[in-house]
Amino acid sequence: MLRSLPLSRSVSTLRSAKSQLSSGIGRLSPHTFSCGSGSFLTTTCGLTLLDFTSGIGVTNTGHSHPRVVAAAQKQAGRLVHGQVNVGYHEPMLDLIDGLSEPAGPLACMASPSFLPGPHADGGRPHLFFWNSGAEAVEAAVKLARHATRKQGVLVFQGGYHGRTLGTMSMTTSKNIYRAGFGANLPGVLVAPFPYVHRYKEHLGGGTEEEREERTVDFCMAQLDLVLSQQAPASDIACAVIEPVQGEGGYVPAPASFIRRLREWCTKHEILMVADEVQSGFGRTGGWFAMDHYGVSPDVLVFAKGIASGFPLSGIAAPGSLMNTQPPGSMGGTYAGNAVSCAAAVATIAAMQDEGMLANAVARGEQLRGGLAELQKRLPIADVRGLGLMVGVEFEPAAGGIAGAVTQECLARGMLLLQTSVYDTVRFIPPLNVSEDEVKMGLEIFASSVDAVLAKKK
């Protein structure tokens, strides 16, 4: 018999509902969020928290940006679901136009490698939309395998590509994502990622430039070893890289590595796939991190920030590559949902009109500058990042404090996440965060580290 849901729930019912959620979900806070605005979230208990997680790099325009909300509301009133295997819908076509503007989000796809580029279509990349980042990564791998008729998938140590069966097999940031869930997808090969700070202890010191050069040389030599030890190039369909590793510790790859990887992929006829699920959509101060490197991947994977919180992901590739797929081989019930696409169109417009990319650069500098100041007196080993994708790695001597620091930040009113197997926290504010909010975040962080260290004494 149908029963209507209670309008208000007692605290005990809420507790019971919470305990019914899968124990497999890790969670930073016990709070229930009731609303969000800009850089802040409010809980059902009336607490207001400075959100420097942005829902893990999703609400890049801030919580419930009025333009995004209005566009989604309008679209929901017209058409919610225009199934992609049944026909087209307008928001998706508008989104393709918005993404393809000459200086727009997909400008980095202008000149891919050994493939006849998107130039054939007047420089416009071809697109496939899906829902989650992991789905889009798998779409990229399927595209590469099908187009090259090769199976191998090369990934980089510390990378994160998702939790589905396929993408967990490509993920090496932490073994919790794979442990007990095997067998993994066959054909995945792993090469070292140029994590300059970490390789210092193995490759020696010197200036930052010298350490970077040695790390890049080492990683390039290891790539060649993959070809002679793990699989020949004739068996490898694609190399999938996060230009800035997210779950691996907010580690930007040196520009020289990304450029040399591009050349290496071209030389060996291996497709270069940039997984920009976390680093994309303005997060680094460019539309995509690849903009900073001046390199075009063969396939770009995007998700998270594109629709400010509505589920939407996808891949972009030259037509010559994308159109190798026979009709019917791609698609999915909710692929490129109409409301999500309308939210994405509004997200692009809001980012452009409100100068969010430039703000990400300026506020990123402010944040890294403030953290570098704190590094002078706190046990911080490394402050790194691009734009508003900023990581702080604590010194090993601090004894593993990142988790305690995030809990202390929470107690003091700020949401901050850990990342990677190393003792690291990550700052992911919205791209329209204000100077005062960054200042507030720095103050909460500093007092939290002080409090954690004081408790350890």
Name the residues that contact ligand PLP, by CB under 6 A: 56, 132-134, 137, 160-162, 242, 246-247, 275, 277-278, 303
Residue type, 185: L
For 415, phi and psi rounded to 5 degrees? Answer: -90, 125
Q: Which of 424, 375, 425, 423 is nearest to 400 (CA)?
A: 423
* Cα–Cα distance measured from residue 418 to residue 421, given in angstroms and rounded to the nearest whole number: 9
Whether the Cβ atoms of residue 302 and residue 312 lie closer than 8 Å to each other = no
Q: What is the smallest separation between the CB atom of 5 and ligand PLP, expressed in angstroms?
A: 28
Q: How far is the CB of 108 from ligand PLP (least distance, A)?
A: 16
Sheet of 48-51, strands arranged across: 33-37, 40-43, 48-51, 414-415
189 vs 241, which CB is nearer to ligand PLP?
Answer: 241
**Chain-centre distance of CA 412, in angstroms?**
27
Query: Residue 313 Cβ, how far from ligand PLP at the closest point, in Å?
Result: 6
What's the min distance (Å) between Cβ of 311 and ligand PLP?
8
Q: Which is nearer to ligand PLP, 285 or 314 (CB)?
A: 314
Name the pairing type of β-strands 188-191 and 152-156: parallel
Smallest gap, in angstroms, from Cβ of residue 64 to ligand PLP? 20
| DSSP letter, residue 215 | H
Give all strands of the β-sheet with 389-394 in edge-to-edge order.
380-386, 389-394, 424-427, 417-419
- Nearest distance in Å: CB 167, ligand PLP: 7
Report the nearest approach of ligand PLP to the CB of residue 302 (Å): 10
Select 299 or 449, whichever has its Cβ closest to ligand PLP: 299
Find the shortest distance in angstroms from Cβ 159 to ligand PLP: 7
B/e letters for 46-73, b = 16+ CB within 10 Å, e = fewer, are eeebbbbbbbbbbbbbbbebebbeebbe
Residue (198 or 283) nearer to ligand PLP, CB: 283
Identify the DSSP state of 170. T
Antiparallel, parallel or unpaired: β 236-241 and 271-275: parallel
Round to whole Å and give the CA distance between 97 and 104: 9
Task: Give the number of other CB atoms < 10 A from CB of residue 190.
Answer: 17
Pairing of strands 299-302, 271-275: parallel
- For the bound state, the minimum distance from the C-beta of residue 132 to ligand PLP, rounded and expressed in Å, comes to 4
- Helix, strand, coil percentages, rounded to 5, for the chain: 45, 15, 40
| C-beta of 245 vs 320, nearer to ligand PLP | 245
Smaller CB separation from ligand PLP, 174 or 412: 174
What gap in Å lies between CA 127 and CA 152, rounded to an integer? 23
Residue nearest to ligand PLP (CB): 133
Minimum CB distance to ligand PLP smaller for 52 or for 160: 160
Residue tagged 């589905």 (tokens): 164
Least distance from C-beta 227 to ligand PLP, angstroms?
25
| Residue with Cβ nearer ligand PLP (138 or 423) | 138
Give the integer Cα–Cα distance in Å for 36 and 59: 10
CB nearer to ligand PLP: pick between 52 and 320? 52
Is 300 or 357 the residue whose CB approaches ligand PLP more closely?
Answer: 300
